[in-house]
Amino acid sequence: MIEMGGKEIAEDVIMEGLAYASKEIEKLQTFQKEIVAKRGKAKRVIVLEDVGEDIKALFKEKISAKFESTIWGAAGRASEYALMEEWLGYVKEVEGMSDKLAEAYFDDMVNDLLHDKAINDSKRPDGRGFDDVRPLFAQAGGVSPVLHGTGIFYRGGTHVLSALTLGGPQDSQILEGMEVQGKKRYMHHYNFPPFSSGETGRMGGMNRRAIGHGALAEKALIPVLPEKDIFPYTIRIVSESMASNGSTSMASVCGSTLALMDAGVPITEPVAGIASGLMMETESKYKVLTDIQGPEDHHGDMDFKVAGTKNGVTAIQMDVKVGGIPLPILKEAFAKAKAARLTILETMKLAIAAPRTDISAYAPKIVVIKIKPDQIGMVIGSGGKTVNEIREQTGAEIDIEDDGTVFCTGKNGSAEKARDIIAEMTHEYVAGEIFKGVVTRLMDFGAFVKIGFSAEGLVHVSEMASFRIDRVSDYMKEGMEVPVVVKEVDDKGRINLSIKRADVNFIKPNEHDAKVINEHRDGDNGTAPKRFVPTPKPGV
């Protein structure tokens, strides 16, 4: 068995690793044999029940004449099932004959026939060559505009629909295990409904097969996904097996790649997968099969699934029914899998050559803003009060990381509104910046004006107008909108503002002050005051 994930690893490199591991395994086997020789106990010998001559004779009489032509018929797996039902019908007519033994014997006969035809006659049940891939079909999108991304992939009788949904960072899966903790931003789920294999069973909970297939497809696609700082979305893909005739897991990889590209996820390379099989009699007498289908999967000696890009392998899963696979056979299987993978990638490229430049209009939008780590507390607020206010005000979801990266997720402009509020909150004011502010408090010495989301500065009475103001309340009211310019920010972070420097004509004198100003202006003759010289007293 082989289970592997990698970042586009070349087949030659993988073979070098397997060859090295094989030598170490041989050492372990030698050690195990020595231990068994010293301490081992005799194992129970399990004798399989013989099917009996009566079953063999009945099979020869009723089935043999049409057995090969039916198994090799155009209907494929369906014709095999039909013949099996016919065979079991004959068995039930004979008293004392075991249904289970008869069914096992039929299965053994199919197994022997497939091996004999492949190894000795170089034939496959559907007439394909050993390196041939079944007819392919690929489609990106077109299922429903509401879905964020979809991919449809056919390989012969295996059909898979992959649907992708984008979410914000808050939608990532939280991992809390004994050895693994963190968040998972890409999830791949696989479903195998009964109708995909022509059955009417019910849909139950997840089973090991579905979990394993989803994990394999997920492993195959992780190496090509963009980093979070490039594409911060959480990605969930659900692959639905619509029809099954061999390796729906690798078809899920292909369909999911199409869905990723349709959704606008900037993957580095498209990924495709293929399953190869093996009919083996001896190490020198065997056939490697490309793109195995139902009977070859069930009766074959190897299920070798390889997924990757044009550059290399991203995931491998291999199960075997024989004692082991020699390295030369593995090398041949790798070469055939690569050729088939490149063929599939070309078909997928015709459906969509590159990821779309825009995401779906129905997907949430994420905008990112960077703040200083020491500003995180200010944005969150006491007990989360501030950040919750922003959420309620905008309708956006907000996620803040320890390094100060803030993700704002929402629809209909809510993400941009949240970003703008946070930008205003964390803005570091400098002299000369002009804003529209709102008067919040009046004092004898001036007025406090709110600028941005929560910053507040003081406009001293001397900075309100170009003329003298005796009472602030004569000219300023709470809630009044005023233009202000940042005059300075002192060493304690307090902001001093000025209205007259922003707009000298914004505050105009009232009737009384205007009269005083005019009288003062009329009495001014333009000459400087003369220095007072006292009249000298007589006799001095």
- pLDDT exceeds 90 at position 41: no
pLDDT at 107 over 80: yes
Give the model's confidence band at 197: pLDDT under 50 very low, under 70 low, under 90 confident, else very high: confident
Q: Are 188 and 165 in contact (CB under 8 A)?
A: no
Say yes or no to pLDDT of 92 above 90. no
CB 5 within 8 A of CB 222: yes
pTM confidence score:
0.82
Of the residues 318, 351, 384, which one is the last residue of a structural domain? 351
What counts of helices (H) and strands (E) characterise the chain?
13, 20
In a domain, 375, yes or no: yes
Q: How many domains does the chain have?
A: 3
Whether residue 411 is contained in a domain is answered as yes
For residues 527 and 498, what is the distance between their CA atoms, to the nearest angstrom? 32
Q: Say how far apart CA 119 and CA 112 lie, in whole Å.
A: 11
Q: Both 265 and 319 in a single domain? A: yes
User: Does 115 reside within a domain?
Assistant: no
The CATH number linked to 480 is: 2.40.50.140
Q: How much is the pLDDT for 57? A: 87
Q: Tell me if 390 is assigned to some domain.
A: yes
Whether 221 and 315 map to the same domain: the answer is yes
Domain of residue 369, residue span: 365-425
In a domain, 396, yes or no: yes
Residues with Cβ < 8 Å from 214, sequence gap 6 or more?
Answer: 188, 189, 190, 239, 252
- Is residue 492's pLDDT more than 90? no
Q: Do β-strands 286-290 and 313-320 pair in parallel, antiparallel, or remain unpaired?
A: unpaired
Tell me the backbone φ, ψ of residue 336, rounded to 5 degrees: -65, -40
Q: Are residues 371 and 468 in the same domain?
A: no
Average pLDDT over the chain, rounded to an integer: 89
Do residues 259 and 237 make contact, with C-beta atoms less than 8 angstroms apart?
A: yes
Listed residues 322, 351, 380: the one ending a domain: 351
The confidence score (pLDDT) of residue 76 equals 58
What band does 201 get if pLDDT is binned at 50, 70 and 90?
Answer: confident
Instruction: Clarify whether residues 470 and 501 are in a common domain.
Output: yes
Are residues 172 and 291 located together in one domain of the fold?
yes
* Run of H or E residues at 516: helix 511-522
Claim to verify: residue 207 and residue 334 sit in the same structural domain: yes
> Is 224 found in the same domain as 347?
yes
Q: What is the CATH number of the domain that holds 235?
A: 3.30.230.70
Q: What is the DSSP letter of 129?
A: -
pLDDT at 294: 82
**510 is a domain residue:** yes
Q: Is 175 found in the same domain as 305?
A: yes
Say if residue 206 is in the same domain as residue 311.
yes
Q: Given a cut of 60, is residue 355 above it in pLDDT?
A: yes
pLDDT tens-digit map of 269-298: 999 999 999 999 988 899 999 999 888 888
257 lies in a domain?
A: yes
Provide the CATH number for the domain around residue 369: 3.30.1370.10
Same domain, 310 and 163: yes
- Asked whether residue 30 is domain-assigned, the answer is no
Q: Is 184 helix (H, G, I), strand (E, B) or coil?
A: strand
